[in-house]
Chain A
Amino acid sequence: MSEPTSRIHDLGYKRYVGTRRPASTRWRVILRNQIAIAWKRWWRYKLSLFLSIVITFVAGAIMYFIGGRNMKMLIGDGTQLKIVDGVLPAVVQFYCSFPLFILSLTLGSMIIASDTQTGAFTFYYVRPVRARDYVLGKLAGYGLIVGSLIIIPLILLAGFRLAIGLDSVDQLVERLVIFPKVLAIGTLATLLYTTIPLAISSLMAKRSHAIAVWAAYYYIFGNICAAIGLTSTPFVAAFDIQTGLSAVTQQLFNVSRPIQKNGFNLELSGNVAALILIAQVIVAIGVIAYQVSRDQKSGVGASS
């Protein structure tokens, strides 16, 4: 690559005399940049978005065919609605296992580790950006991306479910309760798949390490917890993100059958699972805040 020439251009330089945006709004700049970075490469966000759209279409198609008049005549009204009602809780697992997990590998677990690796903390903190602006910008930016892959599809599917086999306005009002339920499970999943990968990312100095540790946390640690839960102490299984979310989903959607994993039945309360998952989210946010604040103090000008 050729080196630049020594000409100096000013392009009619004039001192900036306009107002500057308030310092308290800088986190929004970080948020917007986070979304722009995610959109830039197909494998970062678009791949997961594609998978999410496919899952939504497949789930919608299943609901459409099972909810049709022919199927009603074939299997009866009660069974038909039971199957249709089962699609939404089942599909949550698919969103978590594919788009959300893949996104956490291609983007989430790399976000802060990447900044550590490239020395970007200096870039941020020599400007009027506080550690909390950075944390808020990254969390909100990545959270919106994660949320777009699960909350929006779940709301669409819930709307679709609302329309299937609808006979009266009373029935419509009765079924509206499905929206807070999908919002609750979607928000919980968004928080989990946003904060934990970012927390692991904040602990690592290299992108590759962050990806490996997050994958190990998700699969190895998760499966160990699930195994402990299945064999001796059920609540430990809620430390496995997928199992915990399953328990919460089943309780929210009144699914009575126990969670099945590797042929075992797990009796895990949805409330307990929700508490443990929320605790993980809080710890993850604490880890991010601590690490980022520490990096702010040590990062600038450290090597000079």
Chain B
Amino acid sequence: MRPLIELDKLGKKYGPTVVALRDVTASIDGRIIGLLGPNGAGKSTLLKCLLGLIPHDGTAKVLGLASKTHGREIRDRVGYMPEQEALLGGVSAVELCTYAGELSGLPRTEAMQRAHAALYYAGLEDKRYQLVDGYSTGMKQRVKLAQALVHDPEILFLDEPTNGLDPKSRDEMLQLIQEMPDRRGCAIVLSTHLLPDVERVCDKAMIMHKGALRFVGTIDELRGVRGHVGELNVYVKTDAEKLAEALRGAGASCYVHSPVVLAVDLPPTASARTVFERAKQAGVQVRGVEVRRESVEAGFLRVLGEEERRP
């Protein structure tokens, strides 16, 4: 099956000295892909190259279409929700989304119907006839999402979609994003600085740094590369403290999170079998054992740290 995005030695220079992208090669697929990287990493330049907006070296393909030659076809099939305010003044949300649909090639009636549907989907059904100028930040984010969705894209690029949102709105926005691949059948590329957002909704991640792609893989791979068989999370039916005492007797260090969960660092000579043996001796019922993994944030910092250590 054709990957969503294919990059082959993609490069972009601004002027003779500023290298925004250097020989980026990757094949990217997934439902919700997190695009991560510090400021100036090249995320925006990558998005511009993918949309066919700027000339570049190498090849970038979206849905099998080369962005150098098929930029307009790509933009017909891709939705983009920008980070910055990018709405027209003096129009209602319905008018704005209808206009967006028409600009993407939908006939007027179809564009209008889909504008209503997209605004319903984004949760703006009762506010859709109000001027967007008077919208709150949360509502503007929702309109930006609706205008990106209205022409029924196959991929959605979301640039910092939860920026400036209060916790409740952020939670609702993430819920919308999470459900979109199943409900709308589109893949999502989520560019964000907020790693908890990535951890919650993404199944894949791309990490960019200094114009280069440093990591492409699943979230589990990002978190789990450092997973060590001796570093475990143990789930018990009850009495985690009792098991912790028993394991400390075997030379392990333990931290009890709750009566049913404890983190265990086993000594080099021990294995998961030790946990079961000690639990049996202590009369504690084990419900589950898993290798403890890094958080996405720790994985992200590790990838960047490895880059810093490179000669």
Residues of chain A within 8 A (CB-CB) of B171 are: 6
Whether the pair A4, B123 counts as a contact (CB closer than 8 A) is yes
Q: How many residues of B contact A (CB 8 A)?
A: 66
Kindly report which residue of chain A lies nearest to residue B175, judged by CB atoms: A6
Is A168 an interface position by the 8 A CB rule? no
Tell yes or no: B159 within 8 A of A by CB.
yes
Tell whether, in the assembled complex, residue A118 and residue B88 are in contact, meaning their CB atoms are under 8 Å apart.
yes
* Cβ of A24 to closest chain B Cβ, rounded Å: 9
Dominant SS at the B interface?
Answer: helix
Contact B72 A23 (CB under 8 A): yes
Write the chain B residue with the least CB distance to A126. B80
Number of interface residues of A (CB under 8 A): 48
Contact of A119 among B54, B82, B91, B102 (CB under 8 A): B82
A123 near B117 with CB under 8 A, answer: no
Q: Render B168-180 as a binary contact track against A, CB cut-off 8 A, 1 for contact.
A: 1101100110010
Is B221 part of the binding interface, using a Cβ–Cβ cutoff of 8 Å?
Answer: no
Q: Encode contact with B along A95-137: 1 for CB under 8 Å, 0 otherwise.
A: 0000000000000000000110111111111111110000000
CB-CB nearest in chain B for A119: B86
Expressed in whole angstroms, the Cα–Cα distance for A240 and B114 within the complex equals 49
Closest beta carbon of chain A to B248's beta carbon, Å: 45
User: Which of A29, A37, A40, A128 is close to B73, meaning CB atoms less than 8 Å apart?
Assistant: A128
Q: Is residue B139 contacting chain A, with contact meaning CB distance below 8 A? A: yes
Q: How does the 8 Å CB contact mask read for A43-63 relative to B, with 1 for contact and 0 for none?
A: 000000000000000000000
Closest to B75 in A: A128
B184 at the interface (CB under 8 A from A): yes
Does B255 reach chain A (CB closer than 8 Å)?
A: no
Q: Across the interface, do B87 and A21 meet the contact criterion of CB distance under 8 Å?
A: no
- List A contacts of B152 (CB < 8 A): 15-16
- Chain B residues with Cβ below 8 Å from A129 are 103
Chain A residues 25 to 39 lying within 8 A of chain B, measured CB to CB, are 26, 29-30, 33, 37
Contact residues in A for B160 (Cβ distance below 8 Å) = 304
Closest-CB distance, B283 to chain A (whole angstroms): 45
Distance in Å: Cβ of B235 to nearest Cβ of chain A: 30
Report which of A7, A21, A117, A297 forms a contact with B54, defined as CB distance below 8 A.
Answer: A297
State whether A9 and B121 are in contact (beta carbons under 8 Å apart), knowing that A124-B103, A303-B83 are contacts in the complex: yes
- A10 adjacent to B121 (CB under 8 Å): yes
CA distance A127 to B179 in the complex (A): 24
Chain A contacts for B51, CB-based, 8 A: 126, 300
Query: Considering the chains assembled together, what is the distance between the CA atoms of A119 and B132 in angstroms?
Result: 13
Q: Does B308 contact A (CB under 8 A)?
A: no
B8 on the A face (CB < 8 A): no
Contacts of B73 in A (CB 8 A): 128
Q: Say whether A173 faces chain B, with CB atoms less than 8 Å apart.
A: no
Assembled-state Cα–Cα distance A193/B45 (Å): 38
Question: CB < 8 Å: which of B72, B86, B184 contacts A123?
Answer: B86
Is there contact, CB below 8 Å, between A3 and B168? yes
Chain B residue contacts of A118, Cβ below 8 A:
85-89
- With both beta carbons as reference points, the residue of chain B lying nearest to A4 in the complex is identified as B123
Shortest Cβ distance from residue B157 to the other chain A in the assembled complex, whole angstroms? 8
Say yes or no: B53 contacts A125, CB within 8 Å: yes
| A18 at interface by CB-CB < 8 Å | yes
Is B76 a contact partner of A128 (Cβ separation < 8 A)? yes
Task: With A3-B169, A8-B175, A29-B102 as known contacts, state yes or no: A304 contacts B135, CB within 8 Å.
Answer: no
Residue numbers of B with Cβ under 8 A of A are: 43-44, 47-48, 51, 53-54, 71-73, 75-76, 78, 80, 82-91, 99-100, 102-107, 110, 114, 116-117, 120-127, 134-136, 138-139, 142, 147, 151-152, 159-160, 168-169, 171-172, 175-176, 179, 183-185, 191
* 22 A-B pairs in the complex with CB atoms less than 8 angstroms apart: A1-B127, A3-B138, A4-B125, A4-B139, A4-B142, A6-B123, A6-B171, A6-B172, A15-B185, A21-B105, A29-B99, A29-B102, A29-B103, A40-B90, A117-B89, A120-B86, A123-B87, A128-B73, A128-B104, A129-B103, A130-B72, A301-B159
Please provide the 9 A-B residue pairs with the shortest distance between their CB atoms, ordered closest to farther. Answer: A20-B105, A128-B72, A122-B86, A4-B123, A126-B80, A301-B44, A9-B120, A119-B86, A16-B152
